[in-house]
Amino acid sequence: MTTAVVAERSVHSGEGGMLPRAFEVRARRPELADCVTLEMAAVDGRPLDFAPGQFTMLYVHGVGEIAISISGDPAADATLVQTVRAVGAVSKAVCNLQEGQRIGVRGPLGTAWPVERAFGKHLMIVAGGLGLAPTRPIIYWALANRDRLKSVAIVYGTRAPDQILYAPQLLGWSNTEGLRVGITVDRAAEDWSGRVGVVTDLVPAMLRDPAETVAMVCGPEIMMRFGAQALLDAGVPAEDIHLSLERNMKCGIGWCGHCQLGPHLICRDGPVFSYPAVRDLMTVWEL
Amino acid sequence: MDRAADTSVVTPAGGLDALIEVLRARGYQVWGAQETDGALTLGPIASASDLPRGRIEAAEAGTVRLIDGPRDAFFDHTLPMQGLKRAVYPAEERLYEVGMDMAAEEDPVEAPPLAVLGLRPCDLAALETLTAVFEDGPFVDTRFRRRREALLLIAVNCMRPAATCFCASMNTGPRAEGGFDLVLDEILEDDRHVFVVGAGSAKGREILDALSGEPAGEADLKTARAGSRACAEAQQRRMGEDVEALLKRNYEHPHWAAVAERCLSCANCTLVCPTCFCGTVEDRSSLDGAQAERWRRWDSCFSLDFSYLHGGAVRTETASRYRQWITHKLSHWHDQFGQSGCVGCGRCIAWCPVGIDITAEVAALAAAERTAGQAGKEA
């Protein structure tokens, strides 16, 4: 099971749990106006072997540390790929790093998307906004495992056409056999010929056989709530719906207490949860 | 299970100084409770005369004062303001210093042997609770472990509760069942003042062997056990039953808003709590920016910043922060670490500036739930 693999890995890196490894920025690619993808490599050459859904703690010298999901191909782990939106002091500093500069990395941390559950079934990814970044490793994985999946659907919603993350890749995937891509935006000018509306509206239309579908949902919390509900309403079993949650994290390894959501420590028990494990908690006021 | 008579000795009250000497000779610094600025604190002591002999706490919700007790016992007081947490998890420590090359090396842990004399059963339980957090998860906090392993724990079984104590209802006291190296029972009768000293580990046994004393007789052991029983019975507060499920049933109960009208969100409870472990990290850099230091320090779920996520804090209101604290402590802790996060020491009750009482809030919530249930049936 995925959790067991993660736990085993964590024990191995348990010594010096708060100590980062030195990585070097090898490439910096602006994505959206406030979003950057960094490609990083370990200075000691040792790859960061991760499973889709896991995250790292990225440390910018003298500024601070933040939890960021890994966005790269799990089969190409010599390069650590992460997409960051500049919203706070640390994420801005991460986005401003240039090629050749160093960054501290702890991880991989947390639970993984249980992708093997989709073998022999339809796989649906429902992503909102920057939520496409933590699900991209699933897409890479699905491309490598297409013959073991009935179909793969990517349902993506974002605010506006200029807010479509990984747009060229999405176009490429939409032209790939076995992959279906649906995109919707909240608002658009007249030159947008695509769909306008919320991502939850697109979910039923893109489902093939709901009872035989495994769904991975990532985006703003409110979008995940309604996205998961839409999947459930369409007939996807609750235990086959998985979400990636987010809370403030200071340590990422279960010691700081910041990322609690009710009984869960999101860094340790998540970030990926099955929907039944968090469904009721997500509607509790200020939990 | 009580230790067998043949592993215990009886030593006169003056034997405490002999014990301190034995500890010193083995390289231990010795900490104990002492009276500092009108409060009990835990810190280095030179001899038994530094202990707050004859003094007891007059504690109630929102207040704790030291007063003269009815007799000349060394350990009729109960708890220093803070427990052992500081000794194993410093309020602030540097983790590493790092240059622009990001080649970080962890700061070494200074953990000289430390003997703590007079630890209460609840504080021993709190150490085990913290150990579960920092050592039993997927990641082991080796800094915590090194400091814990440097400890020699000399417990004292309580003979007298403070009014804020409720360890009996948390099953953590007033008699220590294990987790100590040595354990003392103080017996003060008309003309006789002795300690029954028992060992709980090989380290403790070795120290016990270096002390002079008579093998403990059944009469003294019986007196000691009776004292603990009386102490349990004398406790005025208790934690309600079924609290783990009660809190989970009532995330959105209006009672939290009622507590928030009193709660100052000051974090005193989390600072004196011997198990509150939440922490944060901080960066400090040199003026030229070339060197950076990373510090870890205590944090509190009562601060607004604690739950900050892009866009704002998750817990903006005092009601949700108090609910987080008490629900984590008494309910979610079971899910996260397989036990309660509360050891019944009562410090949060005494040191709350407005006298919020964790046992009373649980009772009030349970009563409100019962009343609502009855009203529902009648309607």
Q: Residue A173 has what pLDDT?
A: 97
Measure in Å the smallest separation between the Cα of B318 and chain A Cα atoms. 10
pLDDT mean over B24-44:
96
On chain B, the residues whose CB falls within 8 A of the CB of A20 are 102, 104
Third-level CATH fold of A115-244: Rossmann fold (3.40.50)
Domain range summary for chain A, segments of one domain joined by +: 2-109, 115-244
A286 with B281: Cβ contact below 8 A: no
B contacts of A268 (beta carbons < 8 Å): 137-138
A168-221 residue pLDDT tens: 999 999 999 999 999 999 999 999 999 999 999 999 999 999 999 999 999 999
Lay out the sheet containing B105-106: strands in order across.
B105-106, B92-98, B292-298, B279-285
Written as six digits, the tokens of A87 are 């919203």
Interface probe, candidates A2, A18, A91, chain B, greatest B C-beta count within 10 A: A18
Nearest to B129 by CA among B353, B367, B349, B333: B333
User: Percent of chain B beyond pLDDT 70?
Assistant: 98
Say yes or no to pLDDT of A5 above 80: no
Fold match flag (A2-109 vs A115-244): no
CA distance B337 to chain A (A): 10
Residue in A13, A17, A102 nearest the CB of B101: A102
Q: Which residues contact A286 (CB under 8 A, 6 or more apart)?
A: B314, B315, B316, B317, B319, B320
Distance from CA of A261 to the nearest CA of B (A): 9
Asked if residue B198 lies in contact with residue B183, where contact means CB atoms within 8 angstroms, the answer is yes
Is A192 at the interface with chain B, CB within 8 A?
no
The predicted structure's pLDDT at residue A16: 52
pLDDT beyond 70 at B3: no
Q: Is the pLDDT score of B338 beyond 70?
A: yes
What's the predicted TM-score (pTM) here? 0.94
* Number of cross-chain residue pairs from A and B with Cβ atoms under 8 Å apart: 144
Confidence band, pLDDT 50/70/90 cuts, at residue B377? confident
pLDDT band at B212 (very low <50, low <70, confident <90, very high): confident
Q: Residue A13 — very low, low, confident or very high, per pLDDT cuts 50/70/90?
A: very low
- Put simply, the answer to whether B309 touches A286 (Cβ < 8 Å) is no
Contact B314 A247 (CB under 8 A): yes
CA distance A170 to chain B (A): 26
Q: Which residues of A touch B288 (CB under 8 A)?
A: none
Q: Which residues contact B247 (CB under 8 A, 6 or more apart)?
A: B326, B327, B330, B331, B362, B365
User: Contact at 8 Å (CB) between B351 and B81?
Assistant: yes
Q: Among partner residues A10, A256, A286, which is closest to B279 by beta-carbon distance?
A: A256
Distance from CA of A148 to the nearest CA of B (A): 32
Domain A2-109 belongs to what architecture? Beta Barrel (2.40)
Contacting residues of B for A255, CB less than 8 Å apart: 133-134, 137, 139, 141, 277, 279
Nearest CA in chain B to A10: B138
End-to-end CA separation in angstroms for chain B: 51
Residue range B107-124, pLDDT digits in tens: 999 999 999 999 999 999
In the predicted model, what is the mean pLDDT of residues B131-145? 94
Asked if B306's CB is within 8 angstroms of A263's CB, the reply is no
Chain B residues with CB under 8 Å of A91 CB are: 310
Nearest to A286 among B106, B138, B317 (CB): B317
B254-301 pLDDT tens trace: 999 999 999 999 999 999 999 999 999 999 999 998 999 999 999 999
**Do the beta carbons of residue B44 and residue B124 sit within 8 Å?**
no
CB contact under 8 A, A22 and B328: no
CA-to-CA distance for B92 and B295, rounded, in angstroms? 7
Asked if A117 reaches chain B (Cβ–Cβ under 8 Å), the answer is no
Residues of chain A contacting B285 with CB distance shorter than 8 Å: 61-62
Tell me which residue in B101, B280, B310 faces A250 most closely, judged by beta carbons. B280
> Residue-wise over B116-153: b if at least 16 C-beta within 10 A, else e?
bbbbbbbbbbbbebbbbbbeebbbbbbbbbebbebbbb
Look at A77-81, A135-139, B339-343 and tell me which has the smallest mean pLDDT. A77-81
Given the cut 0.90, state whether the ipTM is greater than it: yes
Q: Which residues of A touch B102 (CB under 8 A)?
A: 20, 22-23, 43, 59, 61, 102-104
Closest residue in B to A253 (Cα) is B139
Nearest-Cα distance to chain B for A114, in Å, is 19
Q: What residue spans define the domains of chain B?
A: 5-233, 243-378
- Check A258 against B102: CB less than 8 A apart: no
